[in-house]
Amino acid sequence: MRRFLSVVGGAVVAIVVMLALESLAHAVAGGRPASVEAMSTPAKLMVLAGYFLGTFAGALAALRLSGWPAAAWIVGVLVLAGGVANLVTIPHPLWMQTATLLLPALAVAAALRLGQRRGLVHNSAGRGVPA
């Protein structure tokens, strides 16, 4: 149950961070544009920063709550699934599509590396990534 709740908590953290940065991107852009193509490059970069930082924060939160590395990866997969759904429904430039697919994995890897350095990874079941 703890692992499940850590994934839920990590997903909530990821969503909050992503929504905050996306809202900031729209504020910088002067409101919601009609399309992604109409957004300025800085606004597009802020949206991508939201994907990375949201995934990083969510993965780190899940890891902190459970010590289970797979929880961080599950949060990353959930963010990736949301990103793919967004790409399917809203046209994006190719460079944003590529970044949307790569950033969650990079963010989880960075969160796991930081988590290992801070001793957040537990090996209580005798399996998983050594601390």
Q: Report the CATH number at residue 66.
A: 1.20.1440
Q: Is residue 122 part of a domain?
A: no
Residue-wise pLDDT tens digits, 42-100:
889 999 999 999 999 999 999 999 999 999 999 999 999 999 999 999 999 999 999 99
Alpha-carbon distance of 1 to 84, in angstroms, equals 28
Q: Is residue 103 part of a domain?
A: yes
What pTM, to 2 d.p., does this model score?
Answer: 0.88
Q: Is the pLDDT of residue 125 over 50?
A: no
Query: How many domains does the chain contain in total?
Result: 1
Q: Is residue 125 part of a domain?
A: no
- The two structure tokens encoding residue 2: 């703890």
Question: Using an 8 Å Cβ cutoff, are 62 and 30 in contact?
Answer: no
**Residue ranges making up the domain that contains 57:** 2-117
Confidence of residue 126 (pLDDT cuts 50, 70, 90): very low
